Amino acid sequence: MKILKVNPENLRESEEAIIEAAKVMLSGGTAVFPTDTVYGLGCDATSEEAIKKVFKIKNRKESNPLAIIVRDIAMAKKVAFVDKRLERALNLIWPGAITAVLWKKYKLPEILTAKEQTIGLRIPDYKLTHLLSENMGRPYVATSANMAGQPATTKISEVLGYFEKSFLKPDLILDAGDLKYCEPSTVLDLSITKPKITRIGPVDKKKLLEILSV
Q: What is the pLDDT of residue 208?
A: 77
**Structural domain that includes position 70:** 2-212
Residue-level pLDDT at 163: 95
DSSP SS3 for 93: helix
Question: What does DSSP assign to residue 44?
Answer: B
Res 16: pLDDT: 97
d(CA 44, CA 202): 26
Q: What is the CATH number of the domain that holds 120?
A: 3.90.870.10
pLDDT tens per residue, range 148-160: 999 999 999 999 9
Percentage of the chain surpassing pLDDT 90?
Answer: 85
Among left, alpha and beta (phi > 0; psi -120 to 50; other), residue 6 is beta
* Cis before 34? omega within 30: no
> How many whole angstroms separate alpha carbon 209 and alpha carbon 14?
37
Domain count, the chain: 1
CA 154/CA 176 separation, integer angstroms: 10
State the burial class of residue 165 (Cβ atoms within 10 Å of its Cβ: 0-12, 13-18, 19+): exposed
Q: What is the mean pLDDT of residues 157-183?
A: 94
Residue among 57, 48, 191, 173 at smallest CA distance from 119: 191
pLDDT at 162: 96
Residue 121 φ/ψ, nearest 5 degrees: -130, 155
- Tens digits of per-residue pLDDT, 122-156? 999 999 999 999 999 999 999 999 999 999 999 99
pLDDT of residue 60: 96
Strands of the 186-189 sheet, one edge to the other: 140-141, 68-69, 118-122, 98-103, 186-189, 196-199
Max Cα–Cα distance, the chain, nearest Å: 47
